[in-house]
Amino acid sequence: MSIIVNGQKKKWLKNETIKELLKRMHYSFPLVVVKINDKLVHRKEFSEFKIPDKSEIKVIHMISGG
């Protein structure tokens, strides 16, 4: 009953959405690229997408500048 978020083991919470996970992790950056088990999830799905148990999640935020 656990998930891996950016390499860290975290407790899996039933029905937790990406939006809720980002909040739990204190990832407050507004623009992030989220991949769950190597699949990209669109930002518009963040509030509905429920994270499955044993998922591996990568969250990377984009910073302005280029």
Question: What single DSSP character describes residue 30?
Answer: S
- Write down the least CB distance from residue 14 to another protein, Å: 26
* Residue ranges binding another protein (CB under 8 A): 30-33, 35, 38-40, 42-43, 58, 60-66
Distance from C-alpha of 53 to C-alpha of 66, rounded to nearest angstrom = 37
- Write down the least CB distance from residue 48 to another protein, Å: 16
∠ Cα 14 16 18 (to 5°)? 150
> Which C-beta is closer to another protein: that of 13 or that of 59?
59
∠ Cα 43 6 13 (to 5°)? 70
- Write down the least CB distance from residue 33 to another protein, Å: 6
